[in-house]
Chains A and B, each alone.
Chain A
Amino acid sequence: VHEQPLRLGIIGAGKLGMTLARVAVEAALEVRLSGSGDVEQLAYMARLLSPGARATTTREVATDADVVVLAVPFHRFRQLAPGLLDGKVVVDAMDYWAPTDGALPDLSASSGTPTPWSKPGSPERGSCAR
């Protein structure tokens, strides 16, 4: 039986996103990756650091994946388009640490606070794992 490989989308091409992309390609997943910069430049980096992963836009990563990993810095989370991941299975790899994310007024709790993804009543619809 030949199953389609799982399509993994990774949003965020930093230390975590790029490393995960490499490991996922090695595990024979179909990997799409997006970052905050230019897609061409990301493709250039991916050819060296995670060969086999396809660099594309965040919109396409969200549309074309079975599972989406959120690997952007926490303080960038709100720059993603609202509703982008509606109905998706999302793996949330973000954590709030005040020392690196700055003091965010609506997250007064201490470091290590889960992101809005895993909070009940999140405006986004879908399944989330952390």
Chain B
Amino acid sequence: MPDRETAIEGHLVIARRGGLMTTDNSQEARAQRLTTIRALTDPLEAGDLAGEALGRVQRLVDQLDNANEVYDVLNDLECCLRRIPGTLIGLVAFLKREAAASRLFNDDVNPSAAGSVATAEETVVEARTLVLAAVEVISRAESAVSRLYSAPREDDDDED
């Protein structure tokens, strides 16, 4: 039995996708996925799963069925991108905190990790800026797609 939050999110997804996910099986499978993700306590595992999931999107994108799905996937890609800057800030904060406390070291001749951390911070900040730019551009793509829809196929009419 899904908890209240899962049930609410399920309804939201149904509303967003125009009732495409109303079967019990997809609801149950989705609830199971959410439960598994919420059980993760290690950021490395969550990151690994995110990479796997986006790799799956990349492989499955040729199986789209209608323009609404293009909108949904674009929207989800944008949501992913919107979260990434926050994560990057967290990563940099960890490095800076530990470097400031002189608890990070290099394998190099120079034992201090300060230079490496500064370089990493610089490139992470650059990545963050680029990700935010990508969010803005994908928002424009979403806006353009939102006006499009797929005409029903003839066999769709037969099913009705």
- Say if A and B assemble together: no
